[in-house]
Homo-oligomer: A and B are copies of this chain.
Protein backbone atom coordinates (compact mmCIF):
# COMPACT_ATOMS: atom_id res chain seq x y z
CA UNK A 1 0.00 0.00 0.00
CA UNK A 2 2.93 2.43 0.43
CA UNK A 3 4.54 4.40 -2.35
CA UNK A 4 8.05 3.45 -3.34
CA UNK A 5 10.27 6.18 -1.86
CA UNK A 6 9.78 9.28 -3.93
CA UNK A 7 12.44 11.84 -4.73
CA UNK A 8 10.58 14.85 -6.11
CA UNK A 9 13.73 16.24 -7.72
CA UNK A 10 13.72 13.21 -10.04
CA UNK A 11 10.15 13.73 -11.24
CA UNK A 12 9.49 16.17 -14.11
CA UNK A 13 7.07 19.06 -13.57
CA UNK A 14 6.21 19.23 -17.27
CA UNK A 15 4.25 17.16 -19.77
CA UNK A 16 6.14 14.27 -21.43
CA UNK A 17 7.66 15.03 -24.86
CA UNK A 18 5.38 14.63 -27.84
CA UNK A 19 2.05 14.95 -26.03
CA UNK A 20 -0.28 16.99 -28.25
CA UNK A 21 -2.05 19.85 -26.49
CA UNK A 22 -5.07 20.00 -28.80
CA UNK A 23 -5.75 16.27 -28.59
CA UNK A 24 -5.27 16.23 -24.83
CA UNK A 25 -7.71 19.09 -24.33
CA UNK A 26 -10.40 17.29 -26.32
CA UNK A 27 -9.82 14.11 -24.34
CA UNK A 28 -9.98 16.09 -21.07
CA UNK A 29 -13.45 17.38 -21.96
CA UNK A 30 -14.61 13.85 -22.71
CA UNK A 31 -13.23 12.64 -19.40
CA UNK A 32 -14.84 15.52 -17.48
CA UNK A 33 -18.21 14.58 -18.96
CA UNK A 34 -17.66 10.95 -17.96
CA UNK A 35 -16.77 12.12 -14.45
CA UNK A 36 -20.16 13.85 -14.20
CA UNK A 37 -21.87 10.56 -15.09
CA UNK A 38 -19.85 8.76 -12.44
CA UNK A 39 -20.79 11.44 -9.88
CA UNK A 40 -24.45 10.80 -10.69
CA UNK A 41 -23.96 7.06 -10.09
CA UNK A 42 -22.11 7.72 -6.83
CA UNK A 43 -24.94 9.99 -5.66
CA UNK A 44 -27.63 7.49 -6.66
CA UNK A 45 -25.89 4.43 -5.25
CA UNK A 46 -24.74 6.01 -1.96
CA UNK A 47 -22.34 3.14 -1.26
CA UNK A 48 -19.07 5.07 -1.41
CA UNK A 49 -17.73 8.47 -0.48
CA UNK A 50 -14.91 10.21 -2.31
CA UNK A 51 -12.36 12.53 -0.74
CA UNK A 52 -10.19 14.46 -3.19
CA UNK A 53 -7.20 16.27 -1.68
CA UNK A 54 -5.31 18.96 -3.57
CA UNK A 55 -1.97 19.94 -2.04
CA UNK A 56 0.81 21.96 -3.59
CA UNK A 57 2.80 25.16 -3.41
CA UNK A 58 1.11 28.52 -3.95
CA UNK A 59 0.11 29.05 -7.61
CA UNK A 60 0.22 25.30 -8.31
CA UNK A 61 -3.38 25.51 -9.52
CA UNK A 62 -5.47 23.81 -6.85
CA UNK A 63 -8.51 26.01 -7.56
CA UNK A 64 -8.05 25.85 -11.31
CA UNK A 65 -7.78 22.07 -11.30
CA UNK A 66 -10.96 21.87 -9.22
CA UNK A 67 -12.84 24.16 -11.61
CA UNK A 68 -11.73 22.13 -14.60
CA UNK A 69 -12.09 18.54 -13.43
CA UNK A 70 -15.56 18.99 -11.93
CA UNK A 71 -16.84 21.40 -14.58
CA UNK A 72 -19.77 19.20 -15.59
CA UNK A 73 -20.57 17.81 -12.14
CA UNK A 74 -23.58 18.91 -10.10
CA UNK A 75 -23.21 20.92 -6.88
CA UNK A 76 -25.71 18.46 -5.42
CA UNK A 77 -23.66 15.75 -3.70
CA UNK A 78 -20.47 17.77 -4.13
CA UNK A 79 -18.60 19.73 -1.48
CA UNK A 80 -15.46 21.81 -1.59
CA UNK A 81 -13.67 23.09 1.45
CA UNK A 82 -10.76 25.46 1.21
CA UNK A 83 -8.62 25.29 4.34
CA UNK A 84 -7.29 28.64 5.58
CA UNK A 85 -5.38 29.68 8.68
CA UNK A 86 -7.23 28.02 11.58
CA UNK A 87 -9.48 30.25 13.69
CA UNK A 88 -8.80 30.67 17.43
CA UNK A 89 -11.49 28.08 18.13
CA UNK A 90 -9.94 25.61 15.70
CA UNK A 91 -6.47 26.16 17.16
CA UNK A 92 -7.86 25.30 20.59
CA UNK A 93 -8.70 21.81 19.29
CA UNK A 94 -6.59 18.95 17.94
CA UNK A 95 -5.62 19.59 14.32
CA UNK A 96 -8.03 17.02 12.89
CA UNK A 97 -11.08 18.47 14.64
CA UNK A 98 -11.96 20.89 11.87
CA UNK A 99 -11.00 18.43 9.15
CA UNK A 100 -13.29 15.65 10.30
CA UNK A 101 -16.30 17.97 10.14
CA UNK A 102 -15.81 18.09 6.36
CA UNK A 103 -15.28 14.39 5.62
CA UNK A 104 -17.50 13.14 2.79
CA UNK A 105 -20.67 11.16 3.44
CA UNK A 106 -21.48 8.16 1.28
CA UNK A 107 -22.76 9.44 -2.05
CA UNK A 108 -20.66 12.61 -1.88
CA UNK A 109 -17.49 13.88 -3.47
CA UNK A 110 -15.71 16.18 -1.06
CA UNK A 111 -12.80 18.28 -2.29
CA UNK A 112 -10.15 19.60 0.07
CA UNK A 113 -8.19 22.57 -1.26
CA UNK A 114 -5.27 22.32 1.12
CA UNK A 115 -6.02 19.91 3.93
CA UNK A 116 -4.87 18.27 7.16
CA UNK A 117 -1.43 18.06 5.52
CA UNK A 118 -0.93 21.79 6.12
CA UNK A 119 -0.47 20.88 9.77
CA UNK A 120 2.74 19.03 8.94
CA UNK A 121 3.80 21.45 6.18
CA UNK A 122 3.56 25.14 7.02
CA UNK A 123 3.81 24.35 10.73
CA UNK A 124 6.90 22.22 10.23
CA UNK A 125 8.63 24.60 7.84
CA UNK A 126 8.30 27.39 10.40
CA UNK A 127 9.25 25.08 13.29
CA UNK A 128 5.99 25.86 15.09
CA UNK A 129 5.89 22.17 16.04
CA UNK A 130 8.79 19.84 16.87
CA UNK A 131 9.68 16.63 15.00
CA UNK A 132 8.00 14.34 17.56
CA UNK A 133 4.78 16.21 16.99
CA UNK A 134 5.21 15.91 13.21
CA UNK A 135 5.53 12.13 13.58
CA UNK A 136 2.51 11.81 15.83
CA UNK A 137 0.45 13.99 13.50
CA UNK A 138 1.50 11.86 10.55
CA UNK A 139 0.30 8.77 12.44
CA UNK A 140 -3.01 10.51 13.12
CA UNK A 141 -3.35 11.47 9.45
CA UNK A 142 -2.73 7.89 8.33
CA UNK A 143 -5.24 6.63 10.88
CA UNK A 144 -7.84 9.21 9.80
CA UNK A 145 -7.53 8.39 6.10
CA UNK A 146 -7.41 4.63 6.65
CA UNK A 147 -10.52 4.79 8.81
CA UNK A 148 -12.40 6.78 6.16
CA UNK A 149 -11.49 4.11 3.62
CA UNK A 150 -12.25 1.08 5.76
CA UNK A 151 -15.19 2.27 7.83
CA UNK A 152 -17.11 4.39 5.32
CA UNK A 153 -16.08 3.01 1.90
CA UNK A 154 -14.29 6.26 1.11
CA UNK A 155 -12.01 6.55 -1.85
CA UNK A 156 -9.18 8.86 -0.74
CA UNK A 157 -7.59 10.43 -3.83
CA UNK A 158 -4.65 12.72 -3.11
CA UNK A 159 -2.99 14.94 -5.68
CA UNK A 160 0.38 16.55 -5.17
CA UNK A 161 0.62 19.48 -7.59
CA UNK A 162 4.23 19.24 -8.69
CA UNK A 163 5.41 22.70 -9.82
CA UNK A 164 8.84 24.03 -10.74
CA UNK A 165 10.27 26.94 -8.82
CA UNK A 166 10.72 28.89 -12.08
CA UNK A 167 7.06 28.45 -13.03
CA UNK A 168 5.97 29.60 -9.59
CA UNK A 169 8.05 32.77 -9.92
CA UNK A 170 6.35 33.50 -13.27
CA UNK A 171 2.91 32.92 -11.84
CA UNK A 172 3.48 35.09 -8.78
CA UNK A 173 4.69 37.87 -11.08
CA UNK A 174 1.57 37.49 -13.27
CA UNK A 175 -0.54 38.24 -10.21
CA UNK A 176 1.08 41.66 -10.08
CA UNK A 177 1.14 42.39 -13.79
CA UNK A 178 -2.10 40.93 -15.15
CA UNK A 179 -5.19 42.89 -13.99
CA UNK A 180 -7.35 39.77 -14.36
CA UNK A 181 -5.15 37.96 -11.84
CA UNK A 182 -4.44 40.74 -9.36
CA UNK A 183 -7.25 39.59 -7.07
CA UNK A 184 -5.15 36.51 -6.30
CA UNK A 185 -2.12 38.49 -5.14
CA UNK A 186 -1.06 37.94 -1.54
CA UNK A 187 2.20 39.47 -0.31
CA UNK A 188 2.70 36.55 2.11
CA UNK A 189 3.01 34.13 -0.83
CA UNK A 190 6.26 35.81 -1.81
CA UNK A 191 7.69 35.25 1.66
CA UNK A 192 6.66 31.59 1.69
CA UNK A 193 8.17 31.16 -1.79
CA UNK A 194 11.60 31.88 -0.31
CA UNK A 195 11.19 28.76 1.81
CA UNK A 196 10.89 26.60 -1.33
CA UNK A 197 13.49 23.98 -0.36
CA UNK A 198 12.08 23.49 3.11
CA UNK A 199 8.54 23.10 1.75
CA UNK A 200 9.77 20.68 -0.90
CA UNK A 201 11.45 18.50 1.75
CA UNK A 202 8.34 18.50 3.97
CA UNK A 203 6.10 17.58 1.03
CA UNK A 204 8.44 14.75 0.11
CA UNK A 205 8.31 13.39 3.66
CA UNK A 206 4.52 13.66 3.83
CA UNK A 207 4.25 11.74 0.57
CA UNK A 208 6.71 9.07 1.66
CA UNK A 209 5.18 8.65 5.10
CA UNK A 210 1.59 8.34 3.82
CA UNK A 211 -0.19 5.01 4.06
CA UNK A 212 -2.53 5.93 1.21
CA UNK A 213 -0.39 6.78 -1.83
CA UNK A 214 -0.37 10.11 -3.65
CA UNK A 215 -0.71 10.95 -7.33
CA UNK A 216 2.17 13.25 -8.33
CA UNK A 217 0.91 15.62 -11.04
CA UNK A 218 3.31 17.68 -13.20
CA UNK A 219 1.52 21.05 -13.24
CA UNK A 220 3.76 23.47 -15.12
CA UNK A 221 1.34 23.24 -18.08
CA UNK A 222 -2.25 23.74 -17.09
CA UNK A 223 -3.69 21.66 -19.95
CA UNK A 224 -1.62 18.61 -19.04
CA UNK A 225 -2.41 18.99 -15.34
CA UNK A 226 -6.15 19.11 -16.11
CA UNK A 227 -5.93 16.04 -18.30
CA UNK A 228 -4.04 13.90 -15.82
CA UNK A 229 -6.21 14.78 -12.84
CA UNK A 230 -9.46 14.17 -14.70
CA UNK A 231 -8.13 10.90 -16.09
CA UNK A 232 -7.13 9.64 -12.66
CA UNK A 233 -10.46 10.65 -11.12
CA UNK A 234 -12.35 8.81 -13.85
CA UNK A 235 -10.19 5.69 -13.48
CA UNK A 236 -10.53 5.62 -9.71
CA UNK A 237 -14.31 6.05 -9.83
CA UNK A 238 -14.74 3.55 -12.70
CA UNK A 239 -13.00 0.98 -10.53
CA UNK A 240 -15.87 1.15 -8.04
CA UNK A 241 -18.10 -0.53 -10.66
CA UNK A 242 -21.14 1.43 -9.55
CA UNK A 243 -24.68 0.64 -10.70
CA UNK A 244 -27.95 2.55 -10.51
CA UNK A 245 -29.97 0.83 -7.76
CA UNK A 246 -33.07 -1.00 -8.98
CA UNK A 247 -36.26 -1.73 -7.09
CA UNK A 248 -36.46 -5.29 -5.75
CA UNK A 249 -38.37 -7.54 -8.15
CA UNK A 250 -41.74 -8.41 -6.62
Spell out A's residues near B (CB within 8 Å): 44-45, 63, 66-67, 70-80, 82, 111, 113, 176, 179-180, 182-185, 244-247
One complex includes copies of this chain to the number of 2
Nearest 5 pairs of A and B residues by beta carbon: A67-B74, A75-B80, A183-B245, A44-B183, A182-B247
CB distance from A34 to the nearest CB of B (A): 15
CA separation between A73 and B19, bound complex, in Å? 28
CB distance from A247 to the nearest CB of B (A): 5
CA separation between A79 and B78, bound complex, in Å? 8
CA separation between A111 and B83, bound complex, in Å? 21
- Given the known inter-chain contacts A75-B78, A80-B76, please indicate yes or no for A176 contacting B247, CB distance below 8 A: yes
- Given the known inter-chain contacts A182-B244, A182-B247, please indicate yes or no for A74 contacting B70, CB distance below 8 A: yes
Query: Smallest CB-CB separation from A39: which chain B residue?
Result: B67
